[in-house]
Amino acid sequence: MGGFLLVDSPIYIDELRARRDPAESFDEALRAGRLLTCGIIRCEVLRGIVKPIVHEKMRNLFLVIQGCSLDETLWSEAADLAWKLDRRGIVLPLPDLAIAACAFRHGATVVTTDGHFHSVPDLPVLDRIEQ
């Protein structure tokens, strides 16, 4: 499987709760330059970390993962996606809309256990990284 993998915050949080290092768990995709992130995911993960050493390690991990910029164009794309989905009766939280817009922008697969993403037509979604 090629292309970017946009790993959502629940995946990182599950790894940390299981006392696994995400950098090691996702090593193959990381070394291949396939991981993608955005500020929303970074904030969701980092805000909940209690231990300073784990916080610093995750902060450093996010610095080496390619980021998707949450610029004005992306927010317009997220708003367009929200409008289209809302007309279909699919209402997603704003953070999920921005993450989905990032995935579409980069042709990425979202790796998540958050069921909201399965409601987005044409968005590739996995529940784990297959290495």
Domain at 77, CATH number = 3.40.50.1010
Q: What integer pLDDT is reported at residue 1 of this predicted model? A: 46
In a domain, residue 130? The reply is no
In a domain, residue 22? The reply is yes
Query: Three-class SS of residue 75?
Result: helix
Q: What integer pLDDT is reported at residue 130 of this predicted model? A: 72
Residues of the chain with pLDDT under 70: 1-2, 131
pTM of the model: 0.94
In a domain, residue 9? The reply is yes
For the CA atoms of the chain, what is the radius of gyration?
14
In a domain, residue 99? The reply is yes
Tell me how many domains the chain contains. 1
- Please say whether the beta carbons of 9 and 45 come within 8 A: yes
Domain with 35, as residue range(s), is: 5-114
Q: What integer pLDDT is reported at residue 30 of this predicted model? A: 96
Whole-angstrom CA distances from 28 to 22, 32, 34, 106, 117 are: 11, 6, 9, 19, 24
